[in-house]
Structure 1
Amino acid sequence: MISEMVLVRMDDAALHGDLVVSAPSRAVVLFVHGNGSSRHSTRNRTVAAQLRTAGYGTLLLDLLNEREERHDALNAEHRFDIPLLTHRLVGAIDWLAEQPETRGAPVVLFGADTGSAAALTAAAERPDRVLTVVSRDGRPDLAGDALERVRVPVLLVVGGQDHEVLRLNQEAARRLRTPHSLHVVPEATHLFEDPRALAQVAGAARRWCDERLRAAREELETHGQ
């Protein structure tokens, strides 16, 4: 297993990330935080650890550099800048395709809060490299017209007690033109503070990704015959 801090360089920033991959990884899950969080998010790290036990690689990446994070902490400007977050995320997807440890591995985008909108928009721009999108209590509505352009399967996981975000996810789901599922964790709030609720998120994400990998493999075998 390879575990290292990485620096993802792109045209407008150099972004810090934590990459953990086994050889070979079934897929690499790229975590897309939002709304003032970072790659150090306890919730994302908990889910990432559980996915690694199922054979998935993980990349937890800060989509803002240190200067932008300080600015965002004061005025919350960048966390809602979906075009900026999407641009950075697409750069990270392309970066994974160039690394020896991750080249050829399918990419799963795991978005939280506003990061979900960036994940969906990036998936619309890189349909050949993204296997699926998983959203945890996200804001898919902020993806706008990109929702209709997404071609990969989408799993929306929402806390049952987060009523407004649940409504927004239900509306976004109706706009998707691709296979999707809305998974509601009944007693969970927006932050999924109960470890048992977070375990349900990890379990739902793992099962969903397992199914997507199996479907992709079967499709490849069918077309290869």
Structure 2
Amino acid sequence: MRKYIVVAVVFLTAAISAFGQKYHVTNVTRERILVDSTFADDARGVDVLAPYKHIVDSIMSPVVGKVAKYMAAHNPESELSNLLADIMVWQGRRYGEKPDLGIYNMGGIRAALPAGDVTFGDVNDVAPFENYITFLSLTGEQMKTLCDQIAKSNGCGLSKGIALVIKGREVESVTLHGQPIDPNRTYRIVTLNYLAEGNDGFAVLPEGFDIKSPKDEQARTREFIVDYFIEKTKAGEVIDAEIEGRVVLK
């Protein structure tokens, strides 16, 4: 498995001392650098990383759960995308929510989960972005539009209970918890704030109402995924998910 080490070194004090107080920081950027065997052979590089490696490992190495099999994300439906959408619905209980549907975009899943022990670092690789859980309501007509937009992308992570059949990037049929979409009722959605803002082709989501977008620590994507793993592990469960026909391409 690839191992990523994130290192951020900012020489602010040195810069100010060298160039005087009239200078100030205008921007700070960061990036993930893959530390592979080529870099590891560089003794100077190893020396630079040494003070940070212990800190990073202490954060990323703890095991948070166990997965029954290797899980990756792919259209139209995958074990990992199903799992993440279900976890968002599960997390709704923390906020007094009972969502009808969870939505997690494939592009937001940046790595696979290994079979066996899963560490905090593994979860961080899957969900590296600073996204937060968001709840919103859609009318039945807006739900139909949402399904159309999902069809245009040939599927995404959708929670248990939906059966969406796509043909030629169009919706052929859709039911939610065994019922067709009712234009006269309201549906509660849980997703990421990134999608709720209309990104990744989900233009209808910003039209939602009764929006709840908490910003506490457990609302951050990687944190509630870890919470799910820890709770299931305490219950003696191994995490698993299946492809169930939630999204079918014809």
Short-chain TM bin: under 0.3
Higher relative contact order (Cα pairs below 8 Å, separated by 6+ residues): 2
| TM-score for both structures, normalised by structure 2 | 0.23
More helix, by proportion: 1
